[in-house]
């Protein structure tokens, strides 16, 4: 029986569709792992949440979009599906979707970030500074690419330049710029809408954009989604990995 998803409102449906559309833009055969969670005080009453994990090619990160639900899903829900098929089933007007049938999960879908143990990392710049860092890095890549002699303008040389630039870390946080680039490209760093979690960013509330660490993982959290990745320096060991059959 097909699982019917009922989102908290049309905005949740639209944001999920936008996220899936960006994943499909980078990879038409993209798959996403979908996990259903129980209700929490921050979610729609009685509805719980849906966590959707994807891996856009070339960024070497996991992208996570959490969706508030208006009605509970059949728990436990843990399935890997086609991102394109899920996107096609999203009905923004009805604030719902039909979960497509499972597909064979790619290797990354078998290992997810830990669910707990996250500690906030200090020193993260604000969203505007992060967007500026991405823009400056893109401009540097283009300038260096254009400066290459014709005989050196190869895919391997461009990849080398890209790895050098995007492996740089953001200040003293240890977060590679590729993670910020992924957040920007997936729409996670856009200006905060007033309808996102009303009242959540009042004085004393958690920072809307923050960096966390747990074991060997880093997670950049924004109101529109999160980017998670293993620490490039291997700090923290293996950590509490979430490994399940897919």
Query: Do the domain assignments include residue 246?
Result: no
User: Mean pLDDT lowest for which of 37-51, 127-141, 179-193?
Assistant: 37-51
pLDDT digits (tens, 9 = 90+) for 163-177: 999 999 998 899 999
pTM here? Answer: 0.84
Residue 241, pLDDT above cutoff 80: no
CA 232 to chain centre: 18
Is 137 in the same domain as 96? no
Query: Do the domain assignments include residue 48?
Result: yes
User: Mean pLDDT lowest for which of 44-58, 93-107, 192-206?
Assistant: 192-206
Query: Do the domain assignments include residue 245?
Result: no
Q: List, in sequence order, every residue forming a beta bridge with 149; answer none if it has no partner.
A: none
Total number of domains in the chain: 2
- Return the CATH number at 87: 3.10.150
Between 185 and 75, name the one with better pLDDT: 185
The DSSP symbol for 148 reads S
Query: Do the domain assignments include residue 72?
Result: yes
Residue 246, pLDDT above cutoff 50: no
Is 134 in the same domain as 101? no
Residue-range definition of the domain harbouring residue 160 = 119-239
Is 160 in the same domain as 226? yes
Query: Minimal CA–CA distance to 35: which of 94, 91, 99?
Result: 99
pLDDT digits (tens, 9 = 90+) for 10-33: 999 999 999 999 999 999 999 999
Q: What's the chain's average pLDDT?
A: 85
The DSSP symbol for 66 reads E
Is 16 in the same domain as 94? yes
Residue 48 — very low, low, confident or very high, per pLDDT cuts 50/70/90? Answer: confident
Query: Do the domain assignments include residue 244?
Result: no
Is 91 in the same domain as 157? no
Query: Do the domain assignments include residue 36?
Result: yes
Is 235 in the same domain as 124? yes
Between 42 and 221, name the one with better pLDDT: 221
Query: Do the domain assignments include residue 24?
Result: yes
Residue 4, pLDDT above cutoff 50: yes
pLDDT digits (tens, 9 = 90+) for 180-200: 999 999 999 987 654 444 434
Query: Do the domain assignments include residue 97?
Result: yes
Last residue of a domain, one of 112, 129, 148: 112
Last residue of a domain, one of 61, 94, 112: 112
Residue 206 — very low, low, confident or very high, per pLDDT cuts 50/70/90? Answer: low
Predicted local distance difference test score (pLDDT) of residue 205: 44
Is 155 in the same domain as 140? yes
**Which residues, in sequence order, are CB contacts of 173 under 8 Å at separation 6+?**
121, 123, 124, 211
| 101-122 burial: b if 16+ Cβ within 10 Å, else e | eebebeebbeebbbeeebeebe
Residue 204, pLDDT above cutoff 80: no
């Amino acid at each position: 029986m097909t699982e019917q998803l009922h989102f908290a409102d049309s905005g949740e449906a639209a944001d999920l569709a936008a996220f899936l559309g960006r994943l499909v833009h980078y990879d038409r055969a993209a798959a996403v792992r979908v996990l259903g969670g129980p209700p929490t005080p921050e979610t729609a009453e009685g509805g719980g949440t849906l966590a959707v994990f994807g891996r856009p090619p070339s960024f070497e990160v996991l992208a996570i979009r959490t969706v508030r639900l208006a009605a509970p899903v059949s728990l436990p829900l843990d399935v890997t599906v086609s991102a394109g098929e899920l996107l096609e089933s999203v009905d923004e007007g009805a604030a719902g979707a039909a979960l497509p049938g499972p597909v064979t999960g790619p290797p990354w879908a078998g290992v997810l970030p830990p669910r707990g143990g996250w500690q906030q990392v200090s020193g993260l710049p604000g969203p505007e500074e992060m967007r500026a860092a991405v823009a400056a890095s893109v401009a540097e890549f283009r300038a260096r690419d254009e400066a290459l002699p014709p005989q050196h303008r190869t895919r391997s040389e461009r990849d080398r330049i890209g790895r050098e630039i995007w492996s740089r870390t953001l200040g003293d946080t240890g977060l590679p710029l590729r993670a910020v680039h992924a957040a920007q490209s997936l729409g996670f760093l856009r200006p905060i809408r007033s309808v996102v979690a009303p009242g959540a960013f009042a004085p004393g509330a958690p920072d809307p954009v923050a960096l966390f660490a747990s074991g060997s993982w880093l997670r950049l959290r924004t109101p529109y989604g999160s980017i998670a990745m293993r620490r490039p320096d291997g700090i923290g060991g293996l950590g509490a990995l979430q490994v399940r059959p897919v």
